[in-house]
Structure 1
Amino acid sequence: MRRISKLTRVAVGVASLGLVATACGGTSGESGDSDSKDRGLAIAYDVGGKGDQSFNDAAYAGLTKAKDEYGYKTADIEPTEGETDADKEQRLASLAKQGYNPVIGVGFAYGPAMKAVAPKYPDTTFGIVDSVVEGKNVASLVFAEEQASYLAGVAAAKATKSDIVGFVGGVDVPLIHKFEAGYKQGVQDTNPKVKVLSQYLTQTAEEGGFSSPDKGKAAAEGQIEKKADVLYAAAGLSGQGVIEAAAKAKVWAIGVDSDQYKQAALAPYKNYILTSALKDVGGAVYALAKSVHDDKPLSGVQTFDLKVNGVGLSETNPEYAKIPGLKDAVNKAKEGIDNGSIKVKTE
């Protein structure tokens, strides 16, 4: 029976770190003896890799915080195009053999590989983001994305002037359905007159749904043509195209995972990034690294939700506070989710 727990606020706050967002391939790690058995944290990126200004960069921020705090070696490895589960297995096994601990797979795509590799390295703590994998030495780092998305929906309903808003999902999978479900519910609970246009970019990640800004841009342009004036994207790197299209059309975009208003690569468009639905992937990565460093490795399902600030909504853009009723409506929604009077759907 797996242990289910909620992380305390020790894991919170990494999302606010400045993210180093350089899109580079291959492996990045500290130098050291190849046979070292006391290496620290290693992460293997999801589709889109480092430089997505979102999901993967948030994980990198957690790695950076842990490295700076504990002074140990780290490694972060990029995915390869068209890779298989066997490729992911080899990557995780290689990191474990080198002595990295913990080893974290960033993204649900690592599920099968994690299930195969973790039992072979019982002295290594493994982590997986956005999926549940059973194992005594595996921590499943999952989030209440629907709660942050609900808040994004509330903001969208308050910001729209056309009463039409959009949602762009990267890949048509259950994880992204959670984002869509929460967003739609937040919109409808706030203003039932507002219509939500939804579109998924691809059916599988291999088709580029999380890694193709051009696909995101085209989808956003289509929704804008249909009068959508607030666009929320849960699409990884593809979301940059949504934000670009929104800025060009001078309508609102809502970012995801990281506070995208702060991202240097998105600076030309930031005035049109109203807010971002935050998902503290960096906090989860750091929390697992800390637990291993403290000789109290986490395992089982670790849930990051609104109560522990594992998800939330950014308020960085000054325009956020200027839209009548928006901030009050979001705060009221937060209270409702926190006290249980608002039950957010996941599908």
Structure 2
Amino acid sequence: MRRVSKITAACAVTAALALTATACGESSTGDSGSDNGDIKVGMAYDVGGRGDNSFNDSAARGLDKAKAELGVETKELTAKTGETPADREQRLSSLAEGGFNPVIGVGFAYKDAIDKVAAKYPKTTFGLVDSVSEAKNVDSIVFTEEQGSYLAGVAAALKSKDGKIGFIGGVDTPLIKKFAAGFQQGVKDTKPAASVTIQYLSTGTDFSGFGAPDKGKAAAKGMLDKGIDVIYAAAGGSGAGSIEAVAGKPGTWAIGVDSDQAKDPALSKYAGSILTSVVKNVDTGVYELVKSVKDGKPMTGTHTYSLAENGVSLTTTGGHVADIQAQLDAAKKKIVDGQIKVATTL
């Protein structure tokens, strides 16, 4: 068992589930399902929801495993583009009011809503993915995205023919900039002469950049037209569009994010163009939280899943990085040992 900051982790993750429900007009899905009915888990996804082939799907795998192995009842709700902060509060409140415990908000956009709702339901344990809450009944599940992205940068630099590399971020938030910062550092440390073009699909409070594959495809095409031959997209569901664009141009590479995108059924036809993926094991954090509640010892506080603990990692599906694995392993060791300090800001 690997260690997570402040705790001893419970397990790993994976599986599958169903859905139905309605709140705030968002797309939703829900299920009932447990024979014992003693634990009901509420999941509030970010824009794109289950089926985004990326971030939300990683969280969904954790929920699926909890259902399969722990026999919990589940309900899933999904944010929609353009909703208000009040919509997120209502979504979380409806789950807590319905007796779901824990209630998990997937994505930093739930931070303010969880701060408010957690105070109203002190006996409910909340999970917050990708941000930190100071509330006493919240488990803040965070990752060292910059470390996994650094390794992706090393891979990109070694695989690019001319040193022209691209990064597509869903939204220009501090979290996504962590991905960009680590990636750029990995590229530059490996090949100082290489260039990294950075582009965001939306800005500010407009989170549509996480659920717009057409925007991802257009951004990637623009980069490819400029001679960029390796593109890393940290953009949720929009990344699928970027991968599609790259697959349409032989000799170029896409780098996936959050899930092993080469293994995703919806993207498998593009697997030959996916160099690697930076996996963020949101599923592990979700499963461990649910198990802790079931065991009567709810996790709270901040739990950081790092490269050293396999909280983030680089996939090897397809064998596309086999020829540079030694360099990747060396870079990972330096990060884990503290020889390389990965930046979190550009």
TM-score, shorter chain, exceeding 0.5? yes
What is residue 23 of structure 2 aligned with on the other side? none
Question: What is the 5 A alignment of 1:20-59?
Answer: 25-30=27-32, 38-59=38-59
Task: Check conservation: 2:131, 2:142, Cα contact below 8 A.
Answer: yes
Displacement of 1:123:
1.2
CA drift at 1:291: 0.9
Q: Deviations over 1:268-297 (max 9, x none)?
A: 111100100010011110010111111111
TM-aligned CA deviation for residue 98 of structure 1: 1.4
Q: Secondary structure at the match of 2:141?
A: strand
1:131 counterpart letter in structure 2: S
Identity of aligned residues (%): 54
Structure 1 residue 61, shift from structure 2 partner: 0.3
Letter in 1 for 2:67: K
Gaps of 5+ in 2: 20-25
Which stretches in structure 1 are left out of the alignment for 5+ residues?
Answer: none
1:241-264 deviation line (CA, Å, top 9, x unaligned): 110011001210000000001000
Q: Could you tell me which amino acid in structure 1 is paired with residue 162 of structure 2?
A: S
Alpha carbons of 1:316 and 1:32: their partners in 2 closer, same or farther (altered >3 Å)? Answer: closer
Q: Which runs of 4+ in 1 moved over 4 A?
A: 6-9, 18-22
- The TM-score normalised by the length of structure 1 is 0.92
Match of 2:270 in 1: 269
1:163-218 deviation digits (Å, cap 9, x = unpaired):
11110011011000000000000011111121111111111353521111111111
CA distance in 2, matches of 1:19, 1:262: 15
Contact 1:59–1:106 at 8 Å: present in 2 too?
yes
Amino acid at match of 2:46: D
**TM value normalised by structure 2:** 0.92
Determine helix, strand or coil for the equivalent of 2:320.
helix
What secondary structure sits across from 1:166 in the alignment?
strand
- CA apart distance, 1:37: 8.2
Residue 341 of structure 2 is aligned with which of 337, 340, 343?
Answer: 343
Query: 2:180 and 2:7 mapped to 1: Cα distance?
Result: 25
Inter-partner Cα distance in structure 1 for 2:129 and 2:325:
30
Structure 1 residue aligned with 2:185: 185
What is the CA distance between 1:89 and its match in structure 2? Answer: 1.1
Judging changes above 3 Å, is the alpha-carbon distance between structure 1 residues 60 and 341 closer, same or farther for their aligned structure 2 residues? same
Report 1:188-337 matches (<5 A): 188-204=188-204, 206=206, 208-250=208-250, 251-321=252-322, 323=323, 326-337=324-335
Counterpart amino acid of 2:301?
A: G
| Gap change, CA 1:61 and 1:96, over 3 Å in 2 | same
Moved more, 96-105 or 256-265: 96-105
Measured in 1, the distance between the counterparts of 2:302 and 2:222 equals 39
Distance verdict in 2 for CA 1:207–1:70, change over 3 Å? closer
